[in-house]
Amino acid sequence: MNVLVVGGAGYIGSHCVRQLTAAGHRPVVIDNLVFGHRRAVAPDVPFYDVNLGDESAVGKILVDEKIDLVMHFAAYAYVGESVHDPLKYYFNNVVATLGLLRVMLAKGVKKFVFSSTCATYGIPEKMPLVETMPQSPINPYGQTKLDVENALKALALAHGLSFSAFRYFNAAGAAEDGAIGEDHDPETHLIPLAIDAATGKRPPLQVFGIDYPTPDGTCLRDYVHVDDLSRAHIAVFEKLEKPGTALFYNLGTGTPTSVREVINAVGKVTGKKVPYTEGPRRAGDPPALYADSSKAKNELGWKVKFDTIESIVETAWRWHSANPDGFGKRK
Ligand code: UDP
């Protein structure tokens, strides 16, 4: 299939592009390179430096490249920033996404794969999370993702759009061959920050909260390898053949891992001590978030290849140790 990957130069998008090529599909990337890296996309993959909100440019690409399906990764994803600047999040994550969907329908492209998030569940009452549990986001970021999920349901009914929304848990790790990896600016994620603390590239890690009602007092999260996530996106393709199909899947390994366990894993894999300080809780962090992904496993035949935190951190370390400055300068 010809697959338009919107945000294909970003962290998850770029890994998905490589998995698409490996599976025999033809990815085409659009990315405005605000957060993405041109070098994260192989030179032989068609690449357009355009804004997702530019409906006429996107419409032309859909037609010229004979696109069958669109995958959409281009969202702002800093929870704290979404609280302070909600309009930025509503305009990019909701309004621009609706524009993308409008031009897709106008051009007759009716298959869509959407990056959603476990942040749509808010602070859940029960764990592990299954797809049917109530969604009540506690920040604008999660709300914008839920708003798009709801719009997709309406478009499936009204116009026969077929879509799958994947609710990611904590995407982590890097390509197994070390070719690409995670390079955010600013970086807020635990694993790259712990690695950089271990190598001395950044100051000691701050552990956000040690008084949570969890076995070791730190938050529990479900870290899932970025290539495992990517493979689910491709496994869903045949389900989208039927018009009007609406699918939702949690993607996580199902294993809760604490901040202390991540620090230990980074220490073990890198062979270095991870310097850290224990600090207060970060606002808006639920104590525990982990997935029941049986639906993806049963319906898509999805299998997690990286099923331990060490195996995920190993891939991240391979990339970070070979690329201490990430992809270097943008553009
Ligand atoms: N965390 C931490 N120190 C940091 C960054 C993150 O203790 O410098 C904790 C955070 O509170 C959460 C976990 O690590 O419990 C994962 O955070 P991350 O930002 O990587 O992902 P999130 O779960 O917020 O999507």
User: Ligand 1 pocket, 190 CB below 6 A?
Assistant: yes
Same domain membership, residue 141 and residue 32 = yes
Among the three residues 251, 268, 295, which one is the final residue of a domain in this structure?
251
Q: Are residues 244 and 121 part of one domain?
A: yes
Report whether residue 148 contacts ligand 1, using a CB cutoff of 6 Å.
Answer: no
My answer on whether 215 and 161 are in the same domain is: no
The CATH number linked to 132 is 3.40.50.720
Residues 20 and 141 in one domain: yes
Over residues 90-116, the pLDDT tens digits come to 999 999 999 999 999 999 999 999 999
Its pTM stands at 0.97
Q: Check if 320 has its Cβ closer than 6 Å to any atom of ligand 1.
A: no
SS3 annotation, 67-81:
CCEEEECCCCCCHHH
Name the one residue in this structure whose structure tokens are 């031009």: 103
Cα gap 304→316, rounded to integer Å: 17
Residue where one domain finishes, among candidates 251, 267, 301: 251
- Same-domain pairing of 227 and 311: no
What's the domain range around 125? 2-172+223-251
Specify if 76 maps to a domain.
Answer: yes
Q: How many helices (H) and strands (E) does the chain have?
A: 11, 13
On the question of a cis peptide bond just before residue 128, with omega within 30 degrees of 0, the verdict is yes
In a domain, 268, yes or no: yes
Residues 18 and 167 placed together within one structural domain of the fold:
yes
Strands 2-6 and 257-258: unpaired
pLDDT of residue 331: 46
Report pLDDT for 44: 97
- Please report the pLDDT score of residue 283 as a whole number: 83
Residue 308 lies in a domain: yes
- Among 251, 268, 289, give the residue marking a domain's end: 251
Residues of the chain with pLDDT under 70: 329-331
Asked whether residue 150 falls in the same domain as residue 275, the answer is no
Count the domains in the chain: 2
* One domain, residues 91 and 204: no
> Considering the domain boundaries, does residue 182 fall inside one?
no
Domain-embedded: residue 163: yes
Residue 178 lies in a domain: no
Q: What's the confidence (pLDDT) of residue 178?
A: 94
Pairing of strands 205-208, 111-117: unpaired
The reported pLDDT for the residue numbered 329 is: 67
Say yes or no: 303 and 210 in one domain.
Answer: yes
Query: In the prediction, which pLDDT does 144 show?
Result: 98
Report the residue among 116, 120, 201, 221 best suited for mutation to probe ligand 1: largest number of ligand atoms under 8 A from its CB. 221
